[in-house]
Amino acid sequence: MTGTPISTSRSGPLSGLRIIELSGIGPGPFCGMMLADMGAEVIRVDRPGGNPVAETGHEVLFRNRRSISLNLKHPDGVAALLKLCESADGLFEGYRPGVTERLGIGPQDCMARNPKLVYGRMTGWGQDGPLAQAAGHDINYIALSGALHAMGRRGDKPLPPLNLVGDFGGGGMMLAFGMVCALLEAQRSGQGQVIDSAMTEGAAALMAMFYGLNGKGQFSNGRGGHMLDTGAHFYEVYETADGGYISVGSIEPQFYALLCDKAGLDADTFGVQMDPARWPQQQEQLAAIFRQRSRDEWCALMEGTDICFAPVLDLNEAPQHPHNRARGSFVEVAGITQHAPTPRFSRSAAATPEAARPPGTDTRAVLQDAGFDEASIARLLESGAAAQL
């Protein structure tokens, strides 16, 4: 085995749970990272000859778990995975509907070996419906959910928020929530179940408040006209004299009054806060005011007050901010600065993250833990059904 053995009993609220992750990219690894960060033993199943982790750009997403390489197109590789399911609490995959069934590792196959197994499935469109078999990406899923249409500035086209809303929020995070829910239920019922997690529906769930506002006629069907979508001058991002940016979110009257005081805003222009007809002019004048000083100068004046203010930091600056440093919000693992496990727990604290493992690093150890003897492991390796780095 290459490298230092990774812990199989990490601390955290999910410690003691064993989860099998059929490796993919993006939202699937994000789900695995969340579960592993919280102490679950997550075993990543990679294909033999899979891309080194460093080449996928997934080092952070793949942290905290062991990797076994199995050829799931080889009958012995399938048999090995099914044996792993016997001692697992859960398994999750992110393939198109029907793929795992064709491989012989679908829910019925795996749960026949372990009726208490929780089987998580994540796709963009869901397991059924007219689009279930169509290809897609985050931008398509949030488009169908109604989320993408709502994001952007007045008079401009919808603006994708990276792939945060579909892949990670509505996908990986929602699947992790579903896995924990089903694992809790299995402890009571003694039975597993299948989770159908669709990114379209997860993204729609993230839009719950706005669907509620829309139902009351309180959310514009356009963009850039609502208090929270850059329509209001008091909830906006502004450029500063040095080319930096600051964020202002002074919604409540007392916070807005403090903004007016600190920024020296005149009452004739800014005295009325909640008149949408005035917002464009107020926004334009406030932008001119914020361009008069540097970002650091505005921070010195406003940061830490009840204005609801923060500088807009890039990925190199954010870990160095005094607040983030004081809380230990970021850690460095294998030379990469990344977020510390979150949320935090008063008693069952999560451990410091461990670096991602190359595919197949732990094949032999995982098989041994599952009860394979040395002769069986040797046959799997010789046949190509499994691979050890």
Catalytic residues: 137, 167
Tell me phi and psi for residue 363, to 5 degrees.
-55, -55
Q: Taking the CB of residue 346, how many other CB atoms lie within 10 A of it?
A: 5
How many other C-beta atoms are found inside a 10 Å radius of the C-beta of residue 108?
12
d(CA 45, CA 360): 8
Give 301's contacts (C-beta < 8 A, 6+ positions apart). 262, 293
How far is 57 from 59, CA to CA, in rounded Å? 6
DSSP bridge partners of 209: none
Asked if residue 80 lies in contact with residue 364, where contact means CB atoms within 8 angstroms, the answer is no
CB 295 within 8 A of CB 240: yes
Q: How far apart are CA 100 and CA 88, in angstroms?
A: 17
Q: Say if CB 312 and CB 244 are below 8 A apart.
A: yes
List beta partners, residue 119.
91, 194
**CB-CB neighbours of 128 under 10 Å:** 12
Residues 307, 248 contacting (CB under 8 angstroms): yes
Contacts (Cβ under 8 Å, ≥6 apart) of 324: 318, 330
Q: How far is 288 from 269, CA to CA, in rounded Å?
A: 13
**Spatial separation of the C-alpha atoms in residues 226 and 274, rounded to whole Å:** 11
